[in-house]
């Protein structure tokens, strides 16, 4: 019989995942999902203290035997990306799954008034750094052994928002990057993206300033997403259950885009 909870199947046992931006929110929830599925997990983020706190929480939640490696570093820095990949392989012996979760959005409002340095930073972190991580993983392990890459996009990359336009443009570029990588790296490496709606994280606080009830009213499911909603989809995409899925961007948005709005 198949377990009702895929995480209980331990279907990632023996595999190693590197999750970026994993000190909180979606990244941390993805790390927890992978641990529950039996994987060893390396987590990276800029600040050492929150990363260490996240690792303690993850080990406590996963129980005895959970293997979590913390690697502080800036995703936008080439040396940090190289170090994260190298340390993961040195500690755990492989790198089977790469989750590009790190993303920033320091620019809001009209593009005509946008600070171009801020826009460059968004694209450098959300798009260029993602490609940089994939390049490092490919050179160090996946090019020879294969693997899975999952990128964190957004519904803002699928439909215009007006409010977070620069961020949305970067996520649209990430969606196209996902398709290009899937084409170039198949058949041994699968590359997909997920596109969440508003998820209840610190990152999204500015988008729900008017209150959660008001923000969720437009969603057919009448609630905002949780990090676990996204993590469970990523767990599926990382597993062999999705072995014929690549080049896709899968929405996890409570039906928001189905309404025709955003």
Helix (H) or strand (E) holding 57: helix 48-62
- Concerning whether 219 is annotated as a catalytic residue, the answer is no
Can you give the length of the chain in residues?
Answer: 262
How many other CB atoms are there within 10 angstroms of residue 36's CB atom? 22
Total structural domains in the chain? 1
User: Is 256 within the bounds of a domain?
Assistant: no
User: Is 261 within the bounds of a domain?
Assistant: no
Smallest CA-to-CA distance from 145 within 181, 180, 95, 190 is with 95
**Active site residue: 32, 167, 169, 242, which one?**
167
User: Is 259 within the bounds of a domain?
Assistant: no
Are residues 132 and 81 in contact, defined by beta-carbon separation less than 8 angstroms?
A: yes
User: Is 166 within the bounds of a domain?
Assistant: yes
User: Is 57 within the bounds of a domain?
Assistant: yes
Domain that holds residue 59: 10-251
User: Is 258 within the bounds of a domain?
Assistant: no
- pTM equals 0.94
Supply the pLDDT for residue 212.
81
Between the CA of residue 22 and those of 3, 65, 215, 234, 248, what are the distances in Å? 27, 20, 25, 14, 23
Tokens of 200: 């209840």
pLDDT in tens, the chain (262 residues): 344 554 557 999 999 999 999 999 999 999 999 999 999 999 999 999 999 999 999 999 998 889 999 999 999 999 999 999 999 999 999 999 999 999 999 999 999 999 999 999 999 999 999 999 999 999 999 999 999 999 999 999 999 988 999 999 999 999 999 999 999 999 999 999 999 999 988 766 666 666 788 889 889 999 999 999 999 999 999 999 999 999 999 999 999 999 987 7
Between the CA of residue 134 and those of 13, 86, 96, 108, 256, what are the distances in Å? 22, 13, 12, 28, 30
Are residues 17 and 97 in contact, defined by beta-carbon separation less than 8 angstroms?
A: yes
Supply the pLDDT for residue 202.
76
Report H helices in 63-160.
78-92, 116-123, 129-137, 143-145
User: Is 260 within the bounds of a domain?
Assistant: no
Q: CATH code at 162?
A: 3.40.50.720
18 contact partners, CB below 8 Å, separation of at least 6? 41, 42, 43, 44, 84, 85, 88, 95, 97, 98, 99, 137
User: Is 49 within the bounds of a domain?
Assistant: yes
């Amino acid at each position: 019989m198949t377990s009702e909870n895929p995480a209980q199947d331990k279907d990632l046992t023996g595999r190693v995942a590197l999750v970026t931006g994993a000190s909180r929110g979606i990244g941390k929830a993805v790390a927890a999902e992978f641990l529950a599925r039996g994987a060893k997990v390396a987590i990276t983020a800029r600040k050492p203290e929150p990363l260490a706190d996240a690792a303690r929480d993850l080990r406590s939640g996963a129980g005895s035997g959970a293997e979590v490696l913390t690697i502080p570093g800036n995703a936008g820095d080439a040396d940090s990306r190289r170090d994260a990949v190298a340390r993961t392989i040195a500690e755990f012996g492989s790198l089977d799954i790469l989750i590009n979760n790190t993303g920033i959005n320091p620019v809001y409002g009209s593009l005509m008034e946008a600070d171009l340095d801020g826009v460059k930073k968004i694209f450098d972190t959300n798009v260029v750094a993602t490609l940089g991580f994939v390049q490092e993983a490919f050179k160090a392990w996946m090019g020879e052994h294969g693997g899975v890459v999952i990128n964190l996009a957004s519904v803002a990359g699928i439909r215009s928002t007006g409010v977070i336009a620069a961020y949305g443009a970067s996520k649209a570029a990430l969606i196209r990057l996902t398709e290009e990588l899937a084409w170039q790296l198949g058949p041994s490496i699968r590359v997909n993206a997920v596109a969440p709606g508003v998820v209840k994280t610190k990152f999204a606080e500015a988008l729900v300033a008017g209150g959660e009830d008001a923000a969720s009213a437009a969603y057919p499911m009448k609630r905002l997403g949780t990090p676990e909603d996204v993590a469970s989809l990523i767990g599926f995409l990382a597993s062999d259950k999705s072995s014929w899925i690549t080049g896709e961007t899968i929405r996890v948005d409570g039906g928001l885009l189905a309404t025709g709005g955003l």
